[in-house]
Structure 1
Amino acid sequence: MENAEASPLKRSPRGLDENSEEEYSSLSTLLQHFASIPTVDKAWTFKSTSEKGSQCMFSISQPNLLANQNRRYILSSHISKGSPNGVIFEWAAFPIEMPSGSIMVPSPSGSKLLVVRNLEKGSTTTFEIWGPSRVEKEFHVSSSVHGSVYSDGWFEGISWNDDETFVAYVAEEQAPSKPVFTNSGYKKGSSSDMECGSWKGQGDWEEDWGETYPRKREPAIFVINVNSGEVHPVEGTNKLSVGQVVWAPASRGLQQYLVFVGWPSDTRKLGIKYCYNRPCALYSVRAPFSKSKDREPGKNAIEEASPVKLTQRISSAFFPRFSPDGKALMFLSAKSSVDSWAHSATQSLHRIDWSIDGKPTADADIVDVVPVVMCPDDGCFPGLYSVKFLSKSWLSDGSTMILSSVWGSTEVILLVNMLR
């Protein structure tokens, strides 16, 4: 009897048929193609030493599907004029990968680069000052001073001052001490986390802002001296969740001021990053390293260090940006969302005149640059929606600001004359 040689049967995994397998294979291939496309997150331009074109540095991210996180890397390029209406990009040979949790902020002159490295929770935060070819300084800030530096794009704020000696930034406030217990009950005094036979309680429950901020402590503002590594907190913000800090233009005196956004933290925190209907305001405070030469009569040091609310006449103010000449402070507002409780209504753009010689005042006049558009005509400007600001938003004329906004179903670039 001849044994017929039977062809092996192709079996699909249990619960899957051949059509399902082909569909999954096609979809996974499509996903891999999409994941291979990098995204430009940030870009910086620097003057070239040869005065022919400019240097540019790009922060790029790309999904790592197996690790379920993003790869981040830096790619440099030299940009020069090509044809009358075009430019030539001369790219570096290869990009350089950046560790997760790293933040990069060039100084105003482009001669220094600040790299902040957030390591594991509870460990130190590293601040590196880079020059053109090497690391010039490195400082380690203990978790007893503050936690991780915010890099979320909302509370986030890292700002160099004009003479590049200080950097203001937003980080998680210092963790409160927790009660320690042993087999004998509560133990008085401090104790190491790793001490045998003891454990730490959780302490009082603290509400977070939800969404992308679970288990993150309140944001607070700190200033680091980039020459000595000394770190000071900004006082007087205990009842606020703070963020988006920037340096005010340098005054002729010894005082330097910071401008930041504050959200009331003594109310329920029901989400913030995607909820524009949370009341907020702009505040100004004297930087902790600055010295007061002349104290106002009737004011003590604590009163002078207290924040000044700049936008008392409006229910929402965020993303502060100073004009190149330092005479105007621009900001966005979601007052229509706050007043109506809609999550994302039309936004508006405003200006406050800023006196370089004087101190910030709480009764400054607010100028409407782009007001709320309630009922736009067909094909006309619909108002500002989901606006994105650049850290340096100004064109070379010093009065035109560039920003992006949603217009219908697309995101467009807008040019706004801020000083008219």
Structure 2
Amino acid sequence: MIDLKALRENPDHFIDGARAKGSGVDIPRLLELDTQRRTLLSEQEQLRSEQKKLGKEVGPQLGKLKGQLKGASGDEQVALQAQLDELEARPAELKQRIQQLDESIEAITPEWHELQLQIPQPPDADVPVGTDSDDNVEIRRWAPEGWDWDQSFEANRGFAAKTHLELVDELDLVDFERGVKVAGSRSYALTGDGMRLHQAVLALGMQHITRGHGFRATSVPVIVREEAMTGTGFFPGGREQTYRIDSDSTPGPGQDLFLTGTGEVGLMGLHADEIVDAESLPLKYATVSTCFRREAGAAGKDTAGLYRIHQFDKVEQVVICRADEAESRTHHAAMIGIVEELLQALELPYRLLQCCTGDLGQKNADMIDIECWIPGRGDDDASGRPSGEFGETHSASRLYDFQCRRLNLRY
């Protein structure tokens, strides 16, 4: 959620940011509602103050007027009676007007709140402007010693590349047929060394992040409340990609639970509605969790096998730091460095891409994608074998206070 005060002071910054991200949120409408709401609240506050003052003063004043009225006659009596009637009527008038203001505020607040949730975090000034992932900009790439980017995988390694489907079949690592039988399309079962390799990679990542870089290992729920999804910025925009669990036992708005698509939701949600001791910052967490995504609308060659699946396990690292841009950038660079250390230790060629404005998503001010070179993907070469291509394996984002405001997390 954005800072409303900052929006009021510089609306063009947020309008330009939304446009750069391709968001159609109606910011002028929000500002209109915000002005209306603040005006109504101001009037209501003034009336409540008068109501409180009258509550203390009306009794003595009524007694005084009634005493004066007994000894009055003629025009004086008429004037005193008019004052008495006005004084007796004012509390009821105040109560009625305050109730009317309550109703007016309640009528516009849902739209006012919903529009706030839709306003994206403006991208940083150094983020490249673009429409989608095709406009992302390569920052750098790395490969182990002896690797020549101008040569084929076979020329670099001395043997032809195989697709992951060929490898898992030859080594008996995955059973797709039975996985689909159990859970439907885009499902699988890891078998034998396939499962052991999977667990080893997760353990390697967690050990490197926690023991090597001091992150706190934390296991968090993967079934979460709607407030956690909204607070971390995945709702309202990401509902179509999220599995919902209907709650029959406690029906009603806000009672449904959701399967998370990232451990980030649980890690950030730990401190919702909290005031964190500033001396404890930064908070550095790492988790490994099962993630779920519907992948609605996904189609094509990148959905085959183990790509674009509905259930997967992922290692996540999160840093909650002070509201300082320089500190945010420092932690972001360090987190990217952790990923690079792992990939270099595994001798996996990769590149870093800075995502353009149109590929940032709602919550990010900046995002770096890390793509590994996958020799078994890409178009077929002259010999009918895949020519290889980069594929996203990691990403690292900076969000400033976007999630913290939505989660009511302060320090």
Answer 1 or 2: higher relative contact order, Cα 8 Å, separation at least 6: 2
Question: Which TM bucket (shorter chain)?
Answer: under 0.3
- TM, length-normalised to structure 1: 0.24
When the two structures are superposed, what TM-score results if normalisation uses the length of structure 2?
0.24
Which protein has the bigger helix share?
Answer: 2
More strand by share: 1
